[in-house]
Structure 1
Amino acid sequence: MADILEKCRNWKDAKMAMRMGIYGYFQPIESAQAPEVMLNGKRFIMAGSNNYLGLANDPEMKKAAKEAVEKFGTGCAGSRLLNGNTIYHDRLEEQIARFKRKEAALIFAAGYQMNLGVVSALLKKGDYAIVDKLDHASILDGVKLSEGEMVRFKHNDMADLERVLAKIPEEAGKLIVVDGVFSMEGDICPLPEIVKLANKYGAKIIVDDAHATGILGKTGRGTCEHFGLENGEVDLVVGTCSKTFGTVGGFVAGDADIIHYLRHNARSQIFSAALPPVCVASISKALDLIENDTSRRDSLFAKTEKLKKGLSELGFNLGESETPILPVIIGSNENCFKMWKALNEMGIFVNPVVSPAVPPGRALIRVTLMATHTDEQVDKIIASFAAAGKALGLIK
């Protein structure tokens, strides 16, 4: 008889990396998500966090969180549909809708749950989801949970997107779902061209602003603001609260009728416990800080430009990034892990990203700064990459 668990016992990839001392995941951080963190009793410069604006450890954020705990306790003990909805949840949704220039919004317990719920609720039998090949896994999983069909186009390739759209039956429902900023490469989707093709072929658009909210646009409202497309050209804007908002959660913003439908049909929202008020209050405070002060965003881009210039001058390939996500493309999985280990030994915390998460031969070190990093810390990151890269023969 077949043992369904045998695959678990036979999977050796991670164990092999552990034995070789090049396993770079599930690191036990002992301190807050700050520019420097403690790990196994050693101090590291954190260059691998999505806490882009440094808000996860901001005093005002922590004050808002404490006040929410005192008022509502640690959780809601139920779904929002039943007993888990609070005035904080309702107010936050109004705040997100205003921020994203939409009629209404809906929050979820996590960004992953949001994409599962939104995408699967909108796609019915006979509908098509048209997705970029580098879209986040949560988008792809949302399509898989639906009754619709998924077709993929080459990354940011508008000719291939049109080829795909042209093949879909004219009468079929069409939903284009793209990341605003791609989480590994740091590049931005060509949204104006996507809008033109969507109009031509009768498709609707979802833009995932997980890594764009608080970052892109003059006031940090995201990809639509970045391109001047805030007048209904994009049907739904979605995102997570675990990046610039410094906590956890997910959101979708769009027309009131669409949000009303999702509120009652997105299964990952209906059948999940409500986002704890401590997180809701933190997100609300983060929005206040982002809307009222652009200095964090300005600092982040200044520090990122310094780091990007330094790494590029050393000879590292940073791909097509236009954002604070810097992919240092190493090549092979083996060299990527070796580079990670060398940087780790120098006290630099970064993320190794290897295939199949990226295409074969394009393994990379994902580097991200916070607005709160110092110039001295950025200098040390550059110097460490120089030493590690030369030692491994990756640069001259």
Structure 2
Amino acid sequence: MGYVTNSAIIPALIGKGGLIVSDSLNHNSIVNGSRFSGATIKVFKHNNPAHLEHVLREQIAGGQHHTHKPWKKIIVIMEGIYSMEGEMCNLPGIMDVCKKYKAFTYLDEAHSIGAIGKTGRGVCELMGVDPADVDIMMGTFTKSFGSCGGYIAASKEIIHHLKHACPAHIYATSISPPAAQQVISAMKVILGEDGSNRGAKKLARIRENGNFFRLELKKMGFEVLGDNGSPVMPIMLYNPAKMPAFSRECLRKNVAVCTIAYPATPLLLARARICISASHSREDLIKGLEVISKVGDLVGVKYCPVEEKKTTSVKKLKKFQ
């Protein structure tokens, strides 16, 4: 799936004598793939083009460790939407720096493809970046496409190389025909090539659902990370002891939430991650908000002060039905 795609593809792209410059909040699959490659790894501050430029300039000037020879290859890796933060990549700024220093770019769109952009084409479409400028675009078929496996989109030369160099392609079993057809069918729906406007409606619905849910959580006093338009919204719990309490109390009220803690996040930055779907009805969202609000009060995780006039109540929520 997406994890194997990153962890197997990156070592096939770069090795000893190469340099990987990775966003500090990149997914564990990218971290492990980078480590497996044998390349030198440097980290730049999350979504910070200025610090990326500082790292690139310093590394290009110094060259390889000990020998100071030029790097054989430099790849900058980032995500479209960061899975634990809900933030979108500052793609235009990062691309400008990579072009300036002639570094290759690798974009993980696991959470952004099929979910953002006018026609669902992801962060490039949303931010006006030509996809042809991104050397390697990676994604998973397990989220927006409802199937299994992962993909790499790149030039013919890169794909040809990966077909002969990536062990996950050479030795692993291919996805089944029904799984492949599911991906093709989902793409046709998203792009409107199925002869209907279902895809456009779903894209509008996921944006509407996400922005509604995020706004209401903030009104309740929760600290919510991420950008408007992102379907991923982490609710900060912080205290590790409050994480299981929050999860279990929500489950007792028939709402299942995904809680994230160490080692997926730093020890004192535990959170509940909400991933909004186009399939969620307004009734689903309101029910979730009602339960999360009650449990938030019980557990004590509403960290942000709320003005009286902005306080969300059950009665106010029901007017959206």
From 40, 43, 46, the equivalent of 1:155 is 46
Provide the rounded CA distance (Å) in 1 between the counterparts of 2:288 and 2:168. Answer: 40
Q: Does 2:53 align with 1:146? A: no
Unaligned runs of 5+ in 2: 62-69, 193-198, 306-321
From 256, 273, 284, the equivalent of 1:349 is 256
Q: Which residue of 2 aligns with 1:332?
A: 239
The 3 A distance-change label for structure 1 pair 195 and 249 is: same
Give 1:233-252 correspondences, 5 Å limit. Answer: 233-252=133-152
Between stretches 143-152 and 189-198, larger displacement belongs to: 143-152
Post-superposition Cα deviations, 1:161-202, rounded to whole Å, max 9, x if no partner, equal: 122112213531110011111111110110111111111222
Post-superposition Cα deviations, 1:77-113, rounded to whole Å, max 9, x if no partner, equal: xxxxxxxxxxxxxxxxxxxxxxxxxxxxxxxxx2222
Give 1:1-396 correspondences, 5 Å limit. Answer: 110-169=1-60, 171-172=70-71, 173-230=73-130, 232-292=132-192, 293-322=199-228, 323-395=230-302
Provide the rounded CA distance (Å) in 2 between the counterparts of 1:384 and 1:244. Answer: 26
Give the Å deviation of 1:269.
1.0
Give the SS at the match of 1:262: helix
Give the SS at the match of 1:218: coil
Provide the rounded CA distance (Å) in 1 between the counterparts of 2:77 and 2:116. Answer: 18
Give the Å deviation of 1:369.
2.1
Give the Å deviation of 1:394.
2.3
Post-superposition Cα deviations, 1:231-262, rounded to whole Å, max 9, x if no partner, equal: 52211111000000011110001111111111
Q: Which residue of 2 aligns with 1:101?
A: none
TM-score by length of 2: 0.86
Provide the rounded CA distance (Å) in 2 between the counterparts of 1:391 and 1:112. Answer: 36
The 3 A distance-change label for structure 1 pair 378 and 231 is: closer
After TM superposition, the runs of 4+ consecutive aligned structure 1 residues lying more than 3 A away are: none
Give the Å deviation of 1:393.
2.3
Give the Å deviation of 1:131.
0.7
- Given that 1:121 and 1:265 are in contact with CA atoms closer than 8 Å, whether structure 2 keeps it comes out as yes
- Given that 2:226 and 2:232 are in contact with CA atoms closer than 8 Å, whether structure 1 keeps it comes out as no
Give the Å deviation of 1:313.
0.5
Give the SS at the match of 2:42: strand
Post-superposition Cα deviations, 1:323-346, rounded to whole Å, max 9, x if no partner, equal: 010100111111122111111111
Provide the rounded CA distance (Å) in 1 between the counterparts of 2:239 and 2:167. Answer: 40
Give the SS at the match of 2:237: strand
Provide the rounded CA distance (Å) in 2 between the counterparts of 1:224 and 1:333. Answer: 36
Provide the rounded CA distance (Å) in 2 between the counterparts of 1:393 and 1:290. Answer: 40
Give the SS at the match of 1:333: coil
- Given that 2:124 and 2:131 are in contact with CA atoms closer than 8 Å, whether structure 1 keeps it comes out as no
Give the Å deviation of 1:148.
1.1
- Given that 1:114 and 1:269 are in contact with CA atoms closer than 8 Å, whether structure 2 keeps it comes out as no
Give the SS at the match of 1:152: strand
TM-score by length of 1: 0.70
Between stretches 149-158 and 232-241, larger displacement belongs to: 149-158
Give the SS at the match of 2:157: helix
- Given that 1:321 and 1:327 are in contact with CA atoms closer than 8 Å, whether structure 2 keeps it comes out as no
- Given that 1:116 and 1:268 are in contact with CA atoms closer than 8 Å, whether structure 2 keeps it comes out as no
Give the SS at the match of 1:174: strand
Identity score, percent: 29
RMSD: 1.4
Between stretches 173-182 and 297-306, larger displacement belongs to: 297-306
Unaligned runs of 5+ in 1: 1-109
Provide the rounded CA distance (Å) in 2 between the counterparts of 1:141 and 1:283. Answer: 27
Give the Å deviation of 1:128.
0.6
